[in-house]
Amino acid sequence: MAPAGVDAARCPFCAGANACAAETGSCWCFDLLVPEALLALVPSKQRNRACICQNCVRAFTRDPDGFTERYRKR
């Protein structure tokens, strides 16, 4: 479904719109701490390009083990 390129507007985990507004100078992602362990799960070609969406940050915070299990790199 997804083309070879990286879609920076989509979450690397759930592929939903991440709604990151960093380009406007103010975004929810500035206030929310994204855990290092969650960043480590982002595929390397998407890291620092595609934002993780708020839902996935919350899901990870709530259940780190379950989230890691679901999205772990193979």
Tokens of 4: 């070879």
Enumerate binding residues for Zn ion (CB under 5 A): 11, 13-14, 53, 56
Q: Which residue's beta carbon is nearest to the bound Zn ion?
A: 11
The minimum distance between CB 59 and Zn ion, in angstroms, equals 8
The minimum distance between CB 37 and Zn ion, in angstroms, equals 16
The minimum distance between CB 54 and Zn ion, in angstroms, equals 8
Closest CA to 22 of 34, 13, 14: 34
Specify whether the CB–CB gap between 35 and 64 falls below 8 A.
yes
* Residues β-bridged to residue 64: none
